[in-house]
A and B are shown apart, each in its own frame.
Chain A
Amino acid sequence: MHWKSSPLAARSKELKGTPLGAGMEQMSRFAARQAYRVHDEQLSNPPSRQMLADHRPALDGQQQELMRGLDTHGYSMVPVFDFFSGEDWFSWDELNARGHKFIEKTEAGIAKRRAKEEEKAKKGKKREKGLGKGDYIMRLFGKEVPTLDESDPWLRLGVSDRMLDIVNSYFGMWSKLTYVDLWYTPPAAPGVDRVSSQRWHRDYNDERLIKVFIYLVDVDENTGPLEYVPGSTVDGPYGREWPWRPVSNDLYPPQDEFEQRIPKDKQIAFTGAEGTMLFCNTSGFHRGGYATGNRPRVMAVYNYSTPASLEALTLRNFAPGVDLDGLSEQAAFALS
């Protein structure tokens, strides 16, 4: 039973805004949590753990260092072109060109919208405030569920053995690739408060999950970098602060209290040059995308989770259109 398609999820939607709605939403989360635990403890993750045990990869020095960072702090960083330098299929120029096409398209869309608003204002119609709350991240795929095949260079990178060797070793099992997209974070309008994931939170869809970000532009303090609390994953020193559990009902801890309990000097911002690749376990506390300068943040984003999460909690944002027979076993598993 998947959280998003359970009868309780449907009831919860129908009852939204009614006195019973909140209780039904909690019950829907409760059911999802039970399903996740069954898959985590019995059905899905144990066989996946065995797959890794049967095919344990030999990590090279660079991969071991990245693993150490993930294990110790919950994150690691490396220039993407260094990481894939020995791979024939990898072309940073190709990825970068696609990234910049996405930037052009997104900025053309923004300009068109602004022009439309100006036009409305001239005609005396009510002027909108510009980009709305939901526009703090603009995505290449958005709500589409595109079919991605072998020709997609972002997908190729996501299921490359070099990448999966790290993710799987960190998980202690073979993982699933659940998300591939490009994000464009425009500068926040002056005076706009942080919304949604711009606030401190944990990702509650898996205890061990990895997000990989590949920067397509330079990301500095003013470009809305991802901020993170190292050691806030389940075994870390901050793991007990508003602890992780599957599909928690409390998505965002009170932000004032957060700043008191986790001092500023324990928080870091992942700034980096174009081409930086960041591996991060986002079941630890993080926030991002609050760009205060005048440049956007643009990056490729990958999510990896355990099979239990894909079975019970997470929906894949793309449909794999790949011939699985042509892939390594772990890559075929990641897309199955």
Chain B
Amino acid sequence: MADNETLERLEQWADKVAEESRQLPADLTEEELLEYEAGWYADFYARNEDLIKGGPDDPAMREWLITQEDMSPPLADAVLDRLRNLAAAR
């Protein structure tokens, strides 16, 4: 059941983000916060590659993150950078 698997992965991801957020120091700078958030979003897409539209270099994916997922352009760029790094590391 691919549908339920998607929800299951979503739940696992949400649990992981909630847990990791508890380990963060309280005095992070804005840049550091953005890096953490980008890492979490990239982790979600790495678990759900079918949701990456055309890959991290496809302008459609950047557009999607900004217009449909309400990310700021710097956050969208940081997420895509993370995804590129993950792809390169494979």
- Taking beta carbons and an 8 Å cutoff, which residues of A are in contact with B? 1, 6-8, 10-11, 15, 18-20, 23-24, 26-27, 29-31, 33-35, 38, 42-43, 243, 245, 248-250
Contacts and interface: CB of A to CB of B under 8 A. Distances in A.
Contacts of B70: 26, 29-30, 245, 248-250
B14 A6 contact: yes
A243 B63 CA distance: 14
Given A18-B26, A26-B70, A27-B37, A34 B10 contact: yes
Nearest to B32: A19
Interface in B23-38: 24, 26, 28, 30, 33, 37
Q: Which 8 pairs of residues, A with B, have the shortest CB-CB distance?
A: A7-B18, A249-B70, A42-B3, A11-B18, A23-B37, A43-B3, A8-B14, A7-B14
A249 to B, nearest CB: 4
5 contacts: A11-B17, A19-B30, A26-B70, A42-B6, A250-B70
B21 interface: yes
A254 to B, nearest CB: 16
A38 B41 contact: no
Given A15-B21, A249-B70, A7 B15 contact: yes
Given A7-B14, A11-B17, A34-B48, 12 more contacts: A6-B11, A18-B26, A19-B33, A20-B24, A24-B21, A27-B17, A31-B13, A31-B14, A33-B69, A34-B51, A43-B3, A245-B68
Interface of B: 2-4, 6-7, 10-11, 13-15, 17-18, 21-22, 24, 26, 28, 30, 33, 37, 40-41, 44, 48, 51, 67-71
Given A8-B18, A250-B70, A38 B37 contact: no
Nearest to B6: A38
A1 B11 contact: yes
B40 A27 contact: yes
Contacts of B10: 1, 31, 34-35, 38
Nearest to B3: A42
B41 to A, nearest CB: 7
Given A19-B28, A29-B70, A35 B7 contact: yes
A166 B10 CA distance: 35
A48 to B, nearest CB: 14
A250 B13 CA distance: 24
A163 to B, nearest CB: 31
Contact of A20 (B7, B21, B48, B68): B21
Contacts of A245: 67-68, 70
B21 A30 contact: no
Nearest to B16: A7
Contacts of B37: 23, 26-27
A30 B15 contact: no
Contacts of A248: 70
